[in-house]
Amino acid sequence: QVQLVQSGGGSVQAGGSLRLSCAIFEYSSSVACLGWFRQTPGKKREGVAIIESDTSTRYDDSVKGRFTITKDSADNTLNLQMNSLKIEDTAMYYCAARAGSCRRWTLQELENLFGYWGQGTQVTVSS
């Protein structure tokens, strides 16, 4: 069973940077798509970025050019580098893994298609 353990996050002022990491245990070759999602109180969890097994990436328009998703194959770690953070980036962030590609769906359609989730980590951006 794939297990995801998150680290990183915290509080930062607007314009600052944070890095989220997600250690992937019991990694399976069936995992073909990894992603980061975020959720604010009262709202649906939304897709932020995904990375396929061929390292192709996709980003939500709200974070494009500011966030970078990477996967370190040597230690099976998924990362999200967040730069130029804005107050509206404040949310609980989750990493996720999916057995199968994400190519057929938009980021906003993917939330229900990921079977493995990290525990979540809070990111708070203040003015």
Going by C-alpha positions, the residue among 118, 120, 121 that lies closest to residue 25 is 118
Give the tens place of pLDDT for each residue, 3-60.
Answer: 999 999 999 999 999 999 999 988 777 788 999 999 999 999 999 999 999 999 999 9
- Quote the pLDDT of residue 117: 96
Q: Retrieve residue 116's tokens.
A: 């493995």
Give how far Cα 12 sits from Cα of 5, 53, 80, Å. 22, 31, 15
For all residues of the chain together, what is the average pLDDT? 94
- Quote the pLDDT of residue 73: 85
The pLDDT of residue 66 is above 80: yes
Percent pLDDT > 70 in the chain is 100
Distance separating alpha carbons of residues 124 and 88, to the nearest angstrom:
9
- Quote the pLDDT of residue 1: 83
